[in-house]
Amino acid sequence: MKSDKIFKYLLFSASFLVIIVAAGMVFTLSSGAIPAFKEFGLKFIISNQWNPTEGRESYGALPFIAGTVITSVIALLLCIPLAFSTSLFIAEYFYKKRVAMFLSTMVDLLAGIPSIVYGLWGFYVLRPFIVELGLSPQGYGIFTASLILAIMIIPYATSLSSEIISMVPNDLKEAAYAMGATRLEVIFNVILPNARSGIFASFILAFGRALGETMAVTMLIGNSNIVPTGLFQTGNTMASVIANQFGEADGLKLSSLIAIGLILFVITGLINAIGKLIIKKLA
Amino acid sequence: MSSATIQYNTRSDYRKRKNRLFYWLVIAMSAITVSPILLIIYKLIIQGYKQINWSFFTKVAPNTLEAMTANAQGEVIPGGILNGITGTFLIVVMAAIIAIPVGIMIGLFLYENQGKRFASIVRDISDILQGVPSIVLGLIAYMWVVKPVTHGFSALAGSVALAIMMLPLIIRSTEETMKMIPTSLKEAGLALGVPYYKVILRVLIPTGFSGLSTGILLAISRIIGETAPLMLTTLGSSAVNWDLTKPTSAIPLLVWEFYNDPNMANLIWSSSLFLMGFVLVLNIISKRIAAKQNR
């Protein structure tokens, strides 16, 4: 039938659009980044200079790559024990109980809070707290940004982890209990080995989220274009430098920012692909 | 004999104690996990309710001077966030118009072509698109729309960025919804000689309607608070604007402006509270629909 053919064709071309959009993104970012890479070559990635002075312009992405990786790794380290405990609470200790439902709704809500609201809360609540503890005079810096990032990525890690943990077959657990194992032993000797790769994937995906977070980090990291050397030093991430400097950028600077966007795109794409691959293997 | 028993008992005690300790550790950690959401909502309500009044919804954002005088006299800052509300409405509706039909079509395509190579490539790419940081989407929309199409910051550019964000969510939820519909429904239609496209339009989509709308509402709740891509595309505007090709404000953009202006500090919280409330309501409605569907 003719109408059927047209319809199938329509669906097919719509799907093709996804590929066009993705390819177009790669193409646009690459072509926008060409002037920067032409000017600085591969030094763009390893240089820690960020100097917009007219005539002596020199841009390097190292401070921002370092800032992104450091904040995201710290956020992940903070997130792991919290998200793991919470998913055990939801999917093991209080599985299908009311309190677990409540907790998982709350964690879902955490995912729904806009990034800028996290930033405000971090700025007005977390930052003064850090100052009060005497950890840093202004309260800005790598640690504060990582802390807020950790809170932001917990829901992503928790929802997937708890799903994976709840899928561990009951008879395996019961067999261990029958042997006299305590719950703790069941968790670490039965659940964890079974759910290991799924939990790992959930943390990888959460890490991918942390890499690209913009607003909250921009508001808390202190925005200085240096490679951070301490936990309480200020810095900048790839996302935050784009957000900060895009407004007044043109020419070579704009191209450098687009190049940073390209690097960020590639890194998050790789991390997400790895996470999805692990999950796909599980299914 | 007896010594062995004692040893066994202490070992057992040790294991039990460790077990209990871990139990409480899990509870404590979980409590730490949920505390931020409660603290954030508390802070938003405590600081924000004062500014929520009639003019908050009917007036545009005040300028610094107005806010400063009001602060000096200890009054509530005049004006509201009307330009943000209309801007967010315009940008999000346009994004939805772009993303929803295409997303549903792609979801249908993936559902109809399970296990085929091309479909799985499309699915993978859509998954990767979902992980692209929103700021990068802002850059993309800047180069696709702001520069060549509208020759300046525009609401349309923001809509394009948000539409790309929405697309993978809609695709995923459409495919999942379609998978839940029993194939017998589809087969019954086809057996009666109904054309394939009519089966989709008259059987599959109405049956999966609640699933589709849940996905759409969740996708909207995800993009409505996005700030970073809008900073690069729609820029902001101090007046109400309905022109897609002009710079436009949005609620998150206003929050950002208020944040950067010390005089406006009081308005930050009420705007965030409003934004947060909106996201919450969308989430609750979509959960309700999903729960009804499951029953």
ipTM of the complex in this document: 0.94
- Contact between A243 and A14 under an 8 Å Cβ cutoff? The reply is no
Residue with the bigger pLDDT between A121 and B266: it is A121
d(CA A247, CA A254): 9
Closest approach of chain B CAs to the CA of A256, in angstroms?
12
| The pairing of beta strand A58-59 with beta strand A50-51 | antiparallel
Residue B157 domain-assigned (yes or no): yes
B239 and B102 in a common domain:
yes
The boundaries of the domain holding residue B10 are 2-51
- The answer to whether the CB atoms of A82 and B252 lie below 8 A apart is no
Please, how many CA atoms are within 13 Å of residue A106, restricted to the half-sphere of its CB?
24
- Cβ-Cβ pairs closer than 8 A, A with B, add up to 234
| pLDDT digits 0-9 by tens, B162-204 | 999 999 999 999 999 999 999 899 899 989 988 888 888 889 9
| Neighbour tally for B12: CB within 10 Å | 12
Tokens 């979509």 sit on residue: B286
Q: Would you tell me which residues 121-160 of chain B have a C-beta closer than 8 angstroms to some C-beta of chain A? A: 121-122, 124-136, 138-140, 143-144
- Contact between B55 and B79 under an 8 Å Cβ cutoff? The reply is yes
| pLDDT digits 0-9 by tens, A148-191 | 999 999 999 999 999 999 999 999 999 999 999 999 999 999 99
Residue A267 domain-assigned (yes or no): yes
A203 and A79 in a common domain:
yes
pLDDT reported for residue B1: 43
Q: How many domains does chain B have?
A: 2
* Angle made by CA atoms B131, B137, B142, in degrees to the nearest 5: 170
- Contact between A39 and A61 under an 8 Å Cβ cutoff? The reply is no
The boundaries of the domain holding residue A275 are 61-282
| pLDDT digits 0-9 by tens, B214-231 | 999 999 999 999 999 999
B260 at interface of A, judged by CB pairs closer than 8 A: no
- Contact between B256 and B81 under an 8 Å Cβ cutoff? The reply is no
Tokens 């509402």 sit on residue: B217
d(CA A211, CA B192): 52
A77 and A27 in a common domain:
no
- The minimal CB distance from B228 to the residues A187, A243, A258 is found for A243
- The minimal CB distance from B276 to the residues A3, A12, A117 is found for A117
- Could you tell me the pTM of the whole model? 0.93
Q: What is the CATH number of the domain that holds B182?
A: 1.10.3720.10
Residue A56 domain-assigned (yes or no): no
How many residues are listed for chain A in this entry? 283
Mutate to test the interface with A, among B15, B17, B33, B116 (most CBs of A within 10 A): B33
Residue B176 domain-assigned (yes or no): yes
A179 and A119 in a common domain:
yes
- What value does the mean pLDDT take over residues A201-217? 95
Residues of B in contact with A183 (CB under 8 A): 19, 22-23
| Neighbour tally for B46: CB within 10 Å | 11
A22 at interface of B, judged by CB pairs closer than 8 A: yes
Residues of B in contact with A205 (CB under 8 A): 131
B97 and B22 in a common domain:
no
Residue B7 domain-assigned (yes or no): yes
Q: Both tokens of residue B161?
A: 């960025």
- What value does the mean pLDDT take over residues A181-206? 95
d(CA B233, CA B163): 13
A68 and A6 in a common domain:
no
Residue B77 domain-assigned (yes or no): no
B155 and B19 in a common domain:
no
Q: How many domains does chain A have?
A: 2
